[in-house]
Amino acid sequence: MGRGAVGRLMLKEGAVNTIEIRGSTIQSRSTVLIVSNPESGGHDTALLGGLATAYGAQGFAVRFGESSPHDKPDLSQHFDRLCIAAGDGTIRHVLAQLSMTEKQVPVDFYPAGTINLAARERNMLRNPSRFVSASLKREAKPLYLASLNDTHFVVCASVSPDARAVAAVSPELKKRIGRFAYAVAMLKMLAHWQRPALLISFDGSPFTAEAVYVAKGRFYAGPWSFAPEARIDVPLLHVVMLKQARRRDFVAFILATLIGRANRLSNVQIVTGKRVNITSDSAQLVQADGDIASALPAEIAIMPGSLSG
Q: What is the pLDDT of residues 3-24, one digit of tens each?
A: 333 333 333 333 234 344 344 3
The strand order across the sheet containing 24-27 reads 10-11, 18-21, 24-27
pLDDT at 203: 78
Tell me which DSSP letter residue 21 carries. E
Based on the domain organization, do 124 and 155 belong to the same domain? no
Based on the domain organization, do 129 and 156 belong to the same domain? no
Give which of 134, 124, 140 is closest to 54, Cα–Cα: 134
Task: Give this prediction's pTM.
Answer: 0.84
Domain final residue pick, 93, 122, 140: 140
Based on the domain organization, do 153 and 130 belong to the same domain? no
Instruction: Report the CATH number at residue 124.
Output: 3.40.50.10330
Q: Are 36 and 66 contacting, i.e. CB atoms less than 8 angstroms apart?
A: yes
Based on the domain organization, do 174 and 108 belong to the same domain? no
Q: Residues of the chain whose pLDDT is less than 50?
A: 1-28
pLDDT at 41: 65
Based on the domain organization, do 258 and 299 belong to the same domain? yes
Domain final residue pick, 121, 140, 159: 140
Range of the domain at 215: 147-308
In residues, how long is the chain?
Answer: 309
Q: Are 167 and 182 contacting, i.e. CB atoms less than 8 angstroms apart?
A: no
Q: Are 104 and 307 contacting, i.e. CB atoms less than 8 angstroms apart?
A: yes
Based on the domain organization, do 170 and 240 belong to the same domain? yes
pLDDT tens-digit map of 122-166: 988 899 999 999 999 998 889 999 999 999 999 999 999 989 988
Based on the domain organization, do 269 and 161 belong to the same domain? yes
pLDDT at 6: 31
Q: Say how many domains are in the chain.
A: 2
Based on the domain organization, do 182 and 130 belong to the same domain? no
Based on the domain organization, do 216 and 92 belong to the same domain? no
- Identify the sign of the CA torsion 301, 277, 279, 240: negative
- Identify the sign of the CA torsion 54, 25, 75, 37: positive
